[in-house]
Structure 1
Amino acid sequence: MIYLGELAALFAAFLWAASSVAFRYIGRSVSPLHLNFTKGAVAIALIGLTLALQQDWTPGGNWRAIALLLIGGALGIGIGDTFFLSAINTIGPRRTLILEALSPPLAATLAFVFLQEQLDWESLFGILLTVAGVIWVVSEGMAQPLPQTSSPLRGIGFGLLSALGQASGAVLSRAALSTTTISPLWSSLFRLLAGLAAIALILLFQQPQQNGFKPLYSPERSHSGKSLLGTIALTAFFSTFLGIWLQQTAFKYAKVGVAQSLLATSPLFAILLARVSGERVSLRAILGAAIAIVGILLLFND
């Protein structure tokens, strides 16, 4: 199918934007790391069930590809997501998203150096416009003060490490998927397994009062516990199970710089969802989205 990778990336970005509403609700009761671990565990169970239903018992790749996917999962999901959450807590979501927008050009640069993956000038300009449009959208309201007791330089460091982790994970996935017959679903499983292992290690070395899992369901709060579990399971299905499956499909069938740029368009879909729900959308956000859309159209040029 033509443009399969590009379309998969856009659909993944849409699912992540839609799921962000549920994440805000869940985040009131579950810490970010525990939420990341829980939804990853749910997604692994769903992937295992899907593979069983498909009777797909072998990944189809080689040990080198599997190793690349495991390392990429640890970097992208375990390390990258952890630094992303840390940056949000330190410098706020908008500033973090601006730093995260560095991930597509970083991914394109790493792919050029290590995979000899070249992009034409039209695609490079498309990446530039897409990233610029996203930055223009998320930078609105930057005059808001930083969270109290935050360290701007530390937060910037967290954001840059997150972008580098995401870009490195993307390139490693592309290296594994583009050179073997391993399926995106199997690669999603390996990435999630490695990511959850990294998160488990981080939780293990946290302070004792931070690292214990609080039960999501207990007799004392049976109704709220069931609601929370159901919300996490439903969100994990769309954002993690389908989202990462689509992400890996994008890395298999599209160049990594293009795929990573399209995956970074979640803020644009968030604007669309806000407008559909009746919220006011500023002219600046509309113009930023228009710039990014021009960039997206340029990326559909192969």
Structure 2
Amino acid sequence: MLGQLFALLTAFCWAQNSVFYSIAGKRISSQSVTHIRLWIALPAILIVHFIFQGSFYPSITWTFPMVLLAASGFIGFFVADILIFYSFVAIGPGRTLLIMTLSPILSAVLSFFFLGESLRILQSAGMLVTLAGILIVIYHENKIEKIDSHILKGIIIAVLGSVAQAAAMVLSKAGLSEGMHPISANVVRITFGFAGLVIYTIVRGEFINDFKKMRDLKALTLISIAALIGPVLGIILTLYALQLAPVGIVTTLTQISPIILLPIEAIFLKRRITFWILTGTLVAVAGAVILFMC
């Protein structure tokens, strides 16, 4: 149950992130947000590591699990995020999140084949019920009336982002097999994601320009808060969850953030709660309850 709790807390982190990153992305650009947030997250996680582990950087022995952990950071923080943020712009956050519900199913399949990790019938049922609830909410709010070439490209990239996210989760689980502390593991993951993003930004010719955009203090503040709660706290919680629960369950519960956002949007943004939103929310909550009972 503790693993499920950590995964659910991660979903709260992602819910906050989606709001802050969306606002910041509209003020500057999604790729600038993706880049700059790791300049904030890396020093922060190094300080956290020093406080809890007594050193700024973990002692690393390059075993195969460590290589997998580094690969998970590169794929998760760099490849997946670039694809997902592109999809946010191309087809919108809601439609992207709809497609991203593929990620838990993909991660469960990948963990079965590569980690030998199988789910019990009740766990599989809870996962499918939760995903059904999320799908009901997002689908009825984000129907695609017409698919042109631009929309199709966004859908394909969102699917690739979902695959990358699932792969990163499975690689993280495999990388933790030697018992590395989740905080140390997150340092390694952020380091390699950071390296990928820096190289990519230099190749794009936007390295200096991204920092110039940080003159927008509101955007910088939002990115800073989101970086601390997302890549730092959120990923640490995810890694703890992966140590204690199957990959499929962890990925499912971390995808519940659209449901968590509903009461916030209803109260502060006056979002209208429709029949389908209420139905999907109740179904997703029921699925989460089943997962906590497993």
TM-score for the superposition, normalised by structure 2: 0.91
- Residue 210 of structure 1 deviates from its aligned partner by 8.7
C-alpha RMSD over aligned residues:
2.2
The answer on whether the counterparts of 2:35 and 2:201 sit within 8 Å (CA) in structure 1 is: no
State the alpha-carbon separation in 2 of the partners of residues 32 and 77 from structure 1.
14
- Inter-partner Cα distance in structure 2 for 1:263 and 1:180: 24
Instruction: Map 1:142-221 onto structure 2 (within 5 A).
Output: 142-143=142-143, 151-177=150-176, 179-206=177-204, 208=205, 212-217=209-214
* C-alpha deviation, 1:71, in angstroms: 0.5
How far off is 1:182 after superposition? 0.5
Q: Is the 8 A contact 1:8 1:246 kept in 2?
A: yes
Cα drift, residue 201 of structure 1? 2.9
User: 1:119: which partner in 2?
Assistant: 119
1:188 counterpart SS class: helix
Aligned residues: 291
CA separation in 2, counterparts of 1:92 and 1:227? 22
Q: Sequence identity of aligned pairs in percent?
A: 27
SS of equivalent to 1:213: helix
CA displacement 1:247-276 (0-9 Å, x = unmatched): 111112111000000010010001122234
Q: 2:236 aligns with which of 218, 238, 245?
A: 245
Distance in 1, Cα, partners of 2:244 & 2:126: 18
Please point out which of 4, 18, 30 is paired with 1:6.
4
- More deviation, 226-235/186-195: 226-235
Q: 2:264 aligns with which of 244, 266, 273?
A: 273
1:261 to 252, 265, 279: 252
Counterpart contact for 1:8–1:247, Cα < 8 Å? yes
Q: Check 1:55–1:191 CA distance in 2 against 1; reply closer, same or farther (3 A cut).
A: closer
Greater Cα shift, 59-68 or 118-127: 59-68
Q: Which moved more, 1:161-170 or 1:54-63?
A: 54-63
Q: Deviations over 1:179-203 (max 9, x none)?
A: 2221111111111111122222332
Normalising by structure 1, we get a TM-score of: 0.88
Match of 2:132, SS? helix
Q: Does 2:132 correspond to 1:132?
A: yes
Q: 1:214 to 1:42 in 2, by over 3 A?
A: closer
Gaps of 5+ in 2: none
Provide, for residues 66-111 of structure 1, a one-character-per-residue CA deviation record: whole Å limited to 9, x for no partner.
2111111111221111111122222222221111000001000000
The offset of 1:145, in angstroms, is 5.7
Per-residue CA deviations over 1:142-198 (Å, capped at 9, x if unaligned) read 346679x85233222101110100000000101122x22211111111111111222
Report if the CA contact (8 A) 2:16-2:226 is conserved: no
Structure number with higher helix proportion:
2
Q: Distance in 1 between matches of 2:207 and 2:154?
A: 21
- Return the alpha-carbon distance in structure 2 between the equivalents of residues 283 and 242 of structure 1: 34
Q: Provide the C-alpha distance between the structure 1 equivalents of 2:61 and 2:207, rounded to a whole number of angstroms.
A: 39
User: Structure 2 CA distance, aligned partners of 1:144 and 1:92?
Assistant: 10
- Bigger CA drift: 84-93 or 138-147? 138-147
